[in-house]
A = this chain, B = another copy of it.
Amino acid sequence: MAKSTKIPVGILGATGMVGQRFIQLLERHPWFEVAWVAASERSYGKTYAEAAKWKMKTAIPPRIAKMKLSAAEPAGAPKVIFAALDSDIAREMEPAFASAGAAVISNSSAFRMHPQVPLVIPEINADHIKLIEQQSWRKQSGGFMVTNSNCSVMGLALALAPLDKAFGIESVFAVTMQAVSGAGYPGVASLDILGNVVPFIKNEEEKMEEEAGKLLGKLKGGQIVPASFGISAHCNRVAVEDGHTESISIKFKKKATAEKIIKAWREYRGMVADLKLPFSPAEPIFYDERVDRPQPRLDLERGHGMTVSCGRLRPCSLLDWKFTMLSHNTIRGAAGAALLNAELLKAKGYLE
């Protein structure tokens, strides 16, 4: 068999929910190939199939099922690392890999707000990756770190980006109804969510409010100047497996009509349309005319989980407009987001 010419990648936290999504999404990826998987010490030396409580709806790829879990150390690991770690662990482990020369594409919150670490949604702020050059890891070893945002802010930021460009955002209200998969596995106990709503997700509102500003901020003089709109978030957990739904109200600086807003969403292609990235959806944002959409059960898989769905645009009696937004929290909001970041880095020559 001919040797693969794909880029070998490693996955830190490979057995968790986001790690499983990475493995599922990387199967048959045209550019990347999983060559190394690591998890906690407890799993070290087991095969992936033995160590992972696989919860995806497709089977474990047979090649991965047999792969042995490595120790979570840079020695022997590939130079491109997807990190799906809890924040506490990420805080220690991600710099260790970046110091050792790896490109760390992280889904954790540990370094998202770090001034030299880009927080990237390629459609919105692909140019922020230039921050990489300021990272000390980069200067020392060539390694670096790039992060994607929290799952609850990803879809919101995408829905806002074209509107900010067209009308200037002044303020945003967002109330989330988040899926349980966002909390990992075992995550939310069934006794907490069957027939229930939990009006609290630790640190989630804070993340939404601060990350939105950085995502929509501008890179000026080597620094991110955060977007200046006001934002207030309420985060709730609901009995949904996958898919974060958000009720959003928004106030603009310039006058907007429903037609113009919908047009802005539908025409939005973002900064990476010309790069033809494999995970880049044809339509980053889909506007659904139907009166009761989007809904997680029905609209989640649009664009293979990479398209954000908006609907129910109508006037808001407090701000200007209100609408509903749905995004796939473990694809667009986590593993798919990191993958798209990796594709951007590859296209821009950072993975060579």
Interface residues, chain A, CB within 8 Å of chain B? 17, 55-59, 171-173, 175, 177, 180-181, 185-200, 209, 230-232, 234, 236, 238-241, 245, 247, 249, 291-298, 300-302, 311-312, 316-319, 322, 324
**Can you list 25 residue pairs at the A/B interface with Cβ under 8 Å?**
A57-B297, A57-B298, A58-B301, A59-B302, A171-B318, A172-B318, A175-B175, A177-B197, A185-B189, A187-B191, A188-B189, A189-B189, A190-B239, A194-B239, A199-B247, A199-B293, A199-B312, A199-B324, A200-B292, A230-B318, A231-B318, A232-B249, A232-B317, A234-B249, A239-B240
Known interface pairs A232-B318, A317-B232, A318-B232; A292-B199 also in contact (CB < 8 Å): yes
Is there an interface contact between A301 and B57, defined as CB atoms closer than 8 Å? yes
10 cross-chain pairs, A with B, having the tightest CB-CB distances, nearest first: A186-B189, A234-B247, A232-B318, A200-B292, A175-B175, A196-B297, A199-B324, A188-B190, A180-B190, A175-B247
Set B209, B300, B312: member contacting A200, Cβ < 8 A: B312
Set B59, B175, B197, B311: member contacting A296, Cβ < 8 A: B197
Is there an interface contact between A185 and B175, defined as CB atoms closer than 8 Å? no
Known interface pairs A186-B186, A191-B181, A318-B232; A241-B297 also in contact (CB < 8 Å): yes
Is there an interface contact between A291 and B241, defined as CB atoms closer than 8 Å? no
Is there an interface contact between B318 and A245, defined as CB atoms closer than 8 Å? no
Name A17's closest neighbour in chain B (CB-CB).
B191
Is there an interface contact between B195 and A296, defined as CB atoms closer than 8 Å? yes
Residue of A190, A198, A291, A319 with most chain B CB atoms under a 10 A cut-off: A190
Which B residues touch A240, using CB under 8 A?
194-197, 239
Which B residues touch A232, using CB under 8 A?
249, 316-319, 322
Which B residues touch A195, using CB under 8 A?
194-195, 239-241, 296-297
